[in-house]
Structure 1
């Protein structure tokens, strides 16, 4: 067999982190990026650093073995589409060149050991390309040997710093005896505060609207909170509660918090201690999980057509293209839904709760499931959206979109959105408006509707048509009457006049 031709639209990023080595492989498709491969190995490179920052042979060997696995997958990717970056441990190690030389032979590719500042800026870029935030955003990434703290806006990092502390180095320093007690935790928190307190005042002066965590620690905490039926927003109170629960286990070996994965267990408590110190020093009120970080930042840097683009629009357009959505109809429903939302915006503050962009997005995507079959297409749409990466939309927004997709037609049940907790009300409003817009657009033609008015009184919606238009359009009248009964089943009032 001849050698296989590398695929020009496939890209690979390898991140030699201090805790794990990661390989991300993505395909540029339909104006977006589709992840087609991820390989992650716990190497714990930082654990091999001694007090003189000399990297042990054992740690280097672990790294080389991992890279030999990665090398196999890189053979099929054009060299120009591969970027390999190394972070804190190889910045610190006095014998980093020895590791790097052999690693480059194994991978047949150059390794860039990036500065802490460049790492912080690239992490921010990864977050900016995968999450949507209109104002200033504080981004924190706790790595194995360094922690990056960035304030940025749009795609630009404004303030960025790489701090010399991480979950692997702090594990070796403050939890070496593997005991879980107040003394160990407090020593780690105190040490982290010394590092953070230098920069915290200037960051607080700049300020931010949203705080996002881009690290495995934040993801692990969210998974623990979900297992305890809490919402996914992090707060200092929740972190201290998890610290207390962790101490109750006595040792790291015994640590078995519901939702905590085995691979995260070892470095979890040191990461938690650093995160508590960050919450305290920056007086962070609440934090969510970012969609991407360093690898995504490197990836988006490699592909020029993705620079400075509306991320949500890119995601929605890519999905519409991939699933052959009728774009005219999608935009027709989106415009009509937005028009209805504008009429009830005083009583339903959709605009303040980011409801309008979600309403528009789901209106444009609601027919994705038609590619599978018509009868249950709303369920197919919901399934596809639920199981697809949606850069630009937060985790909770992603859940709302999937929930509305599933409920935008056919039968409704009482308390249908109860499982969404604090997002249930917004999801109900978006669903009700979308259902009406879909029915009103059923002829799939422009200019077939008369002037209509939607009013709301105590959550009861009234749709008023001019003159006797409904008498002349019995199918539409019948569909709207059916809809009134469906909404009544869910406990919502919808009147058509």
Structure 2
């Protein structure tokens, strides 16, 4: 496929800790990542006290850009964005770096102001997250931390503060020792710089807190390694701090699920995040699937790529995996019918949970393209491991559980482990999709009769015509077996004629 048919887009982010290159293309009405390159340049560690960048740091950066330049040759210049952030922004000798870097890349690098960087971070979060609630966004970089509050795609207040995990390492963990004193000094140091911001942000308010930096990603990976919901809490941060202090030294850091590349900066990142939590009185934070690079990318894309992000993602997956669209719509219709019959009792007032049910109805057969026997596991894997703009990690956990358990045996622990909704709500959603799939077993529009449904807290009743059940013995038998399956999640099923 030529780039004319499927244009490539590239974003290069010269961060204070790492240099990133993201290459994507438009495919099936969605954005597909074609390539990602990341190099730990640690540019900020080359800044001296006078904010002069060392020759060694400049050399590391230029070597990395020579790798990136090779990949840019195939991409139209108008489809490329190259930006530099905090370290180059504050370096007094930035011109010495930029002149050589521009020549290597063959394009100009735009040095983002702190406000520009924060604004693009928010756009990246907004375009890859679902919901209209007000969001508070944290992004901890190597030399700066961005704090943004906004609603939908509009940022209401953006701030960039000169605190970062690389610079804080040099300032508070220069001896690479991990103890109470180093941590407390780092936390207090961060609080001093952000304390004055709290009242103005609190006045605007928010309902959801998101983060997209390497620190949050690393902490989320630790939680997932231990099969816990990927929601970062203040309590969890204090646990990680205690584990790090127990390790005693950077060289001795051993935390299950923590990647080796994050070990050198995890202590300073955790200290800054604790300061943010305590200053802004945050209870928990969710990992965002997008930040600066995604914000820059979506600015380049046609406007039709920026709307209805979840449905665009669902449509793309259905197209890529050749899902029977007609059958998926029938299952969704039956799920809606059952939901309306059950909800007067169940009172599922969680709009996001209902959205996950609808998504599961449309995606429950994406694994069939690979094979039938294990298609439920394949479907769950695609959702767990895939890039799904509009679905955060907790959404993916619930969605994965629903498609994996939509028929046959039920493992309640998969639903208990997710954090997108209450466990009982997840049980109810699973019961709805399972019954909808059974009722649509014939995969024909004219098969289903008019029927009634109702529910109690722990029971479901379906009123189906006797002659219809007699004409469909397989469906009748599966409904009979379903009673035993649903018992595992505390629900009974009663079929009345």
TM range (shorter): over 0.9
Residues 1:217 and 2:215 are matched in the alignment: yes
- Assess if the C-alpha contact under 8 Å between 1:7 and 1:77 holds in 2: no
Output the CA distance in 2 between the equivalents of 1:69 and 1:277.
Answer: 37
Do structure 1's residue 57 and structure 2's residue 64 form an aligned pair? no
Q: CA deviation at 1:375?
A: 4.2
SS state of the match for residue 444, structure 1? coil
The runs of 5 or more residues in structure 1 that have no matched partner are none
1:240 equivalent in structure 2: 238
- Confirm whether residue 208 of structure 1 aligns to residue 206 of structure 2: yes
Name the counterpart of 1:476: 475
1:175 is aligned, of 173, 176, 179, to 173
The separation in 2 between residues aligned to 1:415 and 1:320, in whole angstroms, is: 27
Match of 1:430 in 2: 429
Aligned to 1:161: 159
Q: For structure 1, which segment, 181-190 or 59-68, has the greater mean C-alpha deviation from structure 2 after superposition?
A: 181-190
Structure 1 equivalent of residue 403 of structure 2: 405
| SS, match of residue 361 in structure 1 | helix
Deviations 1:123-144 (A, max 9, x none): 0111111121321000100001
Local SS of the residue matching 1:50: coil
Corresponding position of 2:187: 189
TM-score of the superposed pair, with normalisation by structure 2: 0.94
1:377 and 1:244 map into 2 onto residues whose CA distance is 42
Q: Residues of 2 paired with 1:414 and 1:86: CA distance?
A: 47
2:444 aligns to what?
A: 445
Q: Secondary structure at the match of 1:157?
A: strand
Choose the corresponding residue for 1:381, options 379, 382, 385: 379
Q: Secondary structure at the match of 1:287?
A: strand
Rate the CA distance shift 1:364–1:437 in 2: closer, same or farther, 3 A.
Answer: same
Say whether the 8 Å CA contact 2:405–2:411 is kept in structure 1.
Answer: no
Q: Secondary structure at the match of 2:330?
A: helix
Shift in CA distance, 229/437, structure 1 to aligned 2, threshold 3 Å: closer
- Structure 2: gaps (5+ residues): none
Instruction: Tell me, yes or no, if the aligned pair for 2:453 and 2:462 is still in contact at 8 Å.
Output: yes
Corresponding residue to 2:28 among 8, 26, 30: 30
CA contact (8 A) 1:139 1:212 kept: yes
Report what 1:253 is aligned to: 251
| Equivalences, count | 494
Over 3 Å counting, the alpha-carbon distance change for 1:307 and 1:155 in structure 2 is: farther
User: What is the rounded CA distance, in whole Å, between the counterparts of 2:410 and 2:191 in structure 1?
Assistant: 51
What does the per-residue CA deviation read over 1:294-336, in whole Å, with 9 as the maximum and x for residues that have no partner?
Answer: 0111111110234540111110011111122222221121121
Aligned partner (choices 75, 87, 97) of residue 77 of structure 1 = 75
Q: Which moved more, 1:322-331 or 1:284-293?
A: 322-331
Contact 2:298 2:306 in 1 (8 A): no
Distance 1:436 1:249, change over 3 A: same
Indicate which of 108, 124, 130 corresponds to 1:132: 130
Are the aligned partners of 1:6 and 1:77 in contact in 2 as well (CA < 8 Å)?
no
| In structure 1, distance between residues paired with 2:42 and 2:362 | 44
State the TM-score, normalized to the length of structure 1.
0.94
Contact 1:382–1:406 at 8 Å: present in 2 too?
A: yes
Deviations 1:462-481 (A, max 9, x none): 11125654334444323322
Matched residue SS, 1:410 = coil
Deviates more, 1:470-479 or 1:78-87: 470-479
Q: Out of 242-251 and 196-205, give the one that drifted further.
A: 242-251
Instruction: After superposition, give the CA deviation of every residue in 1:39-70 in whole Å (9 maximum; x if it has no partner).
Output: 11111111111122111111100100111111
Match of 2:120 in 1: 122
SS of 1:253's partner is helix
Contact 2:30-2:312 at 8 Å conserved across structures: yes
Cα deviation, residue 376, structure 1 = 3.9
1:110-132 CA-partner distances (Å, limit 9, x unpaired): 11111111111110111111121
Cα distance change, pair 354–5 in 1 and its aligned pair in 2 (3 A): closer
SS in 2 for 1:38: strand
CA contact under 8 A between 2:6 and 2:27: conserved in structure 1?
no
Q: Which residue of 2 aligns with 1:364?
A: 362
Match of 2:389 in 1: 391
